């Protein structure tokens, strides 16, 4: 999705509201508490479809501008992710500035929870980098506007199985486009990162008879997954030279870049990692030129947000999985639109998300 930028001179004079108006953010809450050392920013990008939902990330940012940019970028991304997934949720995100190992404690989290509560449900928080479900339990002491709680607290628990299922069905829809059938039997798939999502995905793929290659920086994970599923372990320096059909990035972002695209021979890229394209404009076009079908990450990995959405309604895993299954049709529709209009798939996905927001905005005014 296109993130607009602003001239440095404009930014130094108008660092906040100018930045917000650029991508039409609704509201930002700056949070400070000297007693606990809490410094946080909550950004609400858009609430047309429903309350804004997005995780809280704790990170030792170099400066406040970096934190502001991150929270604005991430909250906007959540608007698109939820819209395209057909959820009645808007986009929001929070960042807590600081080293989680040094300053995160009960008082700081509860103070943060009070700030979340002050928004009256316009922003619902959840886990993200350096935040755990235990932290959500603590935040919950101060606000009901929190999701991603452990199952024993009535929450939805680990979202990874639902995310993995979404990746699997998205991969099938992509395969149908490329090979005319969504049967993955015999397809050679590289899964990079066999953590929570990657392992479950490997389970689906091996069950379907795909030939799976796995890579991970953790020897322990590799040993475990290779032992359980009988898949082939490949070294990092060799994986992009493999003769594969599908590349599934399930570890970290920016792995679709100049270096990997110079080597990749696959027909499909479809995985769980966020922000897979190192540069959306450059690499979104590059995959198109190389004849690789890129299933947009924020469409593919929406199972995570789908899972927490169902927690708000009284959690039911079957309903979450059944909603995640719709990622098959969504992927298919995005591919067809991209093909028809000759645009990168991520652009088509963004348009579909925007169209939904625009059309719902029109009916919101009607009683
Ligand atoms: P995880 O931490 O459980 O697993 C990630 C795995 O990748 C780990 O086994 C780790 O050792 C491995 N890894 C890290 N760096 C690597 C590298 N350079 N090369 C190879 N392997 C590497 O995370 P997860 O929950 O499985 O999520 C996977 C990805 O999907 C993440 O990028 C996450 O942001 C994204 N995602 C996850 C969910 C979810 O529901 N868990 C939802 C949406 C997006």
Q: Residue 2 has what pLDDT?
A: 56
Residue carrying structure tokens 């946080």: 40
Whole-number Å distance between alpha carbons of 263 and 78: 31
Distance 26 CA to ligand 1 centre (A): 31
CATH topology of domain 160-304+311-354: Rossmann fold (3.40.50)
Distance 17 CA to ligand 1 centre (A): 34
Q: Take atom 8 of ligand 1 and give the residue whose Cα is closest.
A: 195
Inter-residue contact 11 to 18 (CB < 8 Å): yes
Does the C-beta of 196 come closer than 6 Å to ligand 1? yes
Does the C-beta of 167 come closer than 6 Å to ligand 1? no
Q: Residue 313 has what pLDDT?
A: 87
Catalytic residues: 93
Q: Residue 367 has what pLDDT?
A: 80
Does the C-beta of 260 come closer than 6 Å to ligand 1? no
Q: Please identify, by atom number, the ligand 1 atom nearest to the C-alpha of residue 159.
A: 40
The b/e string for 270-290 (b: 16+ C-beta within 10 A; e otherwise) is: bbbbbbbbbebeebbebbbee
Domain 6-76+90-149 has CATH 3.40.50.10860: yes
Shortest CA distance to 143 belongs to which of 87, 94, 179?
A: 94
Would residue 43 be called left, alpha or beta, if left means φ above 0 and alpha means ψ between -120 and 50 degrees?
A: beta
**Residue segments in the chain with a per-residue pLDDT below the cut of 70:** 1-12
Does the C-beta of 108 come closer than 6 Å to ligand 1? no
For the record, the structure tokens of 37 come out as 């050392």
Does the C-beta of 88 come closer than 6 Å to ligand 1? no
Distance 276 CA to ligand 1 centre (A): 12
Does the C-beta of 218 come closer than 6 Å to ligand 1? yes
Q: Take atom 29 of ligand 1 and give the residue whose Cα is closest.
A: 273
Q: Residue 11 has what pLDDT?
A: 63
Q: Residue 13 has what pLDDT?
A: 75
Structure confidence by residue, pLDDT tens digits, 202-256: 999 999 999 999 999 999 999 999 999 999 999 999 999 999 999 999 999 999 9
Please state the domain extents for the chain.
6-76+90-149, 160-304+311-354
Q: Residue 247 has what pLDDT?
A: 98
First to last CA, the chain: 32
Identical fold, 6-76+90-149 and 160-304+311-354: yes
Q: Take atom 20 of ligand 1 and give the residue whose Cα is closest.
A: 216
Distance 253 CA to ligand 1 centre (A): 9
Alpha helices in 230-279, H assignment, sequence order: 236-239, 258-263
Inter-residue contact 184 to 255 (CB < 8 Å): no
Would residue 3 be called left, alpha or beta, if left means φ above 0 and alpha means ψ between -120 and 50 degrees?
A: beta
Distance 254 CA to ligand 1 centre (A): 13
- Among 272, 278, 299, the mutation site with the greatest number of ligand 1 atoms within 8 A of its Cβ is 272
């Amino acid at each position: 999705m296109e993130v607009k930028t602003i001239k440095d001179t404009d930014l130094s004079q108008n660092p906040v509201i100018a930045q917000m108006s650029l991508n039409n953010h609704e509201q930002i809450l700056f949070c400070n508490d000297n007693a606990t050392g809490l410094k946080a920013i909550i950004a609400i990008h858009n609430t047309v479809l429903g309350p804004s939902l997005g995780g809280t990330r704790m990170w030792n940012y170099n400066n406040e501008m970096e934190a502001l940019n991150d929270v604005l970028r991430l909250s906007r991304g959540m608007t698109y992710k939820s819209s395209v997934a057909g959820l009645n949720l808007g986009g929001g995100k929070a960042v807590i500035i600081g080293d989680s190992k040094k300053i995160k404690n009960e008082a700081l989290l509860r103070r943060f929870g009070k700030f979340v509560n002050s928004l009256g449900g316009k922003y619902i928080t959840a886990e993200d980098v350096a935040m755990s479900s235990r932290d959500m339990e603590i935040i919950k002491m101060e606000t009901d506007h929190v999701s991603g709680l452990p199952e024993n607290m009535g929450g939805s628990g680990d979202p990874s199985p639902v995310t993995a299922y979404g990746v699997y069905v998205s991969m099938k829809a992509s395969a149908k486009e490329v090979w005319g059938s969504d049967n993955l039997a015999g397809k050679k798939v590289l899964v990079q990162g066999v953590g929570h999502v990657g392992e479950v995905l490997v389970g689906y793929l091996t069950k379907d008879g795909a030939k799976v290659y796995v890579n991970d920086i953790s020897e322990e994970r590799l040993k475990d997954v290779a032992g359980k599923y009988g898949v082939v372990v490949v070294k990092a320096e060799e994986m992009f030279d493999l003769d594969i059909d599908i590349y599934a990035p399930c570890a970290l972002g920016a792995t679709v870049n100049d270096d990997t695209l110079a080597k990749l021979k696959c027909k499909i890229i479809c995985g769980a990692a966020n922000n897979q394209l190192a540069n959306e404009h450059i690499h979104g076009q590059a995959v198109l030129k190389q004849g690789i079908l890129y299933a947009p990450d924020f469409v593919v990995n929406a199972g995570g947000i789908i899972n927490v959405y169902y927690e708000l309604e009284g959690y039911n895993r079957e309903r979450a999985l059944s909603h995640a299954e719709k990622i098959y049709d969504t992927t298919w529709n995005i591919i067809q639109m991209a093909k028809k209009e000759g645009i990168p798939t991520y652009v088509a996905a963004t348009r579909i998300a925007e169209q939904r927001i625009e059309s719902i905005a029109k009916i919101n005014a009607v009683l």
